[in-house]
Amino acid sequence: MGKFVITKRTNGEFQFNLKANNGQTILSSEGYSTKAGCTGGIESVQKNSQDDSKFDKLESKSGKWYFNLKATNGQIIGSSEMYESVSGRDNGIESVKTNAPDAVTDDQTV
Residue spans per domain, the chain:
3-107
C-alpha 18/C-alpha 27 separation (Å) is 5
- The CATH class that applies to domain 3-107 reads mainly beta
Q: What is the C-alpha separation between 23 and 46, in angstroms, rounded?
A: 18
- Write down the pLDDT at residue 99: 96
pTM > 0.85: yes or no: yes
Query: pLDDT per residue over 14-59, tens digit each?
Result: 999 999 989 999 999 999 999 999 999 999 999 999 999 999 999 9
The three-point CA angle 43-48-29 to 5° equals 60
